[in-house]
Chains A and B, each alone.
Chain A
Amino acid sequence: AQTVTQSQPEMSVQEAETVTLSCTYDTSENNYYLFWYKQPPSRQMILVIRQEAYKQQNATENRFSVNFQKAAKSFSLKISDSQLGDTAMYFCAFMKVGDYKLSFGAGTTVTVRA
């Protein structure tokens, strides 16, 4: 089974600044996908960004980018120019290629301060 660890239960960031969320995972697989999901206080969980393990280039979606370090089994999320609407819980998730099951971390609560 895969284990996903998010070591930061809570983080706070000033509006317009940058925050980085850490995620590490444990797997013996070589081919897999990694995801970051956002769950705002309204609780609708949405996909923020995803990465294929065979791609060395880090994924970017507007103000969200990842730092994928395959050898270190690390997949951090950077939120640039933080906005109040970024306040949410963020979950890191892992999926093996050919599988449908997502293994989630425990989440990091991000609060953006005005």
Chain B
Amino acid sequence: ETGVTQTPRHLVMGMTNKKSLKCEQHLGHNAMYWYKQSAKKPLELMFVYNFKEQTENNSVPSRFSPECPNSSHLFLHLHTLQPEDSALYLCASSQDLTGGLETQYFGPGTRLLVL
């Protein structure tokens, strides 16, 4: 695996549950991302953090709440989710937000099923 880890790898939750997804990067990067990957759809960027500050919220419903306590850790807190929120949630990191050929490094994802 690359230097980005995610836990748990699989998660089943009811609509009234509260759970959290965790992402950790060991690459010394300063920017971290949450993506949602649904079947047969392009990856959707959800949130972006740079130096612990949120720089992007891509119109994500408030039932998804990100937290970035430091540049190495990123959380996604989940509460009162809907079945349509079932998807693969990917975390990624990059050196910063200058983009270019400095690519984003992805974690293995958390497969979420909302019942």
Contacts and interface: CB of A to CB of B under 8 A. Distances in A.
A33 B101 contact: yes
Q: Which of B40, B43, B88 gathers most chain A CB within 10 Å? A: B43
Contacts of A37: 106
B70 to A, nearest CB: 20
Interface residues on B, range: 20 to 34
A62 B105 CA distance: 21
Contacts of A9: 40
A45 B42 contact: no
Given A100-B94, A101-B45, A103-B42, A43 B108 contact: yes
Interface in A92-114: 95-107
State the main secondary structure of chain B at its contact with A.
Answer: loop
Contact of B40 (A44, A50, A95, A106): A106
A104 B101 contact: no
B61 interface: no
Nearest to B43: A104
Nearest to A102: B104
B106 A44 contact: yes
Interface of A: 4, 9, 33, 35, 37, 42-47, 50, 52, 91, 95-107
Given A50-B101, A98-B100, A100-B48, 20 more contacts: A9-B40, A33-B99, A33-B101, A35-B103, A37-B106, A43-B108, A43-B109, A44-B108, A44-B109, A45-B106, A46-B2, A46-B106, A52-B101, A95-B99, A96-B99, A97-B100, A99-B99, A101-B99, A102-B104, A104-B43
B42 A106 contact: yes
A43 B88 contact: yes
A100 B97 contact: yes
A4 B42 CA distance: 9
- Rank and list the top 9 A-B pairs by shortest CB-CB distance, nearest first: A100-B99, A45-B106, A104-B42, A100-B97, A104-B43, A44-B108, A43-B109, A47-B103, A43-B108
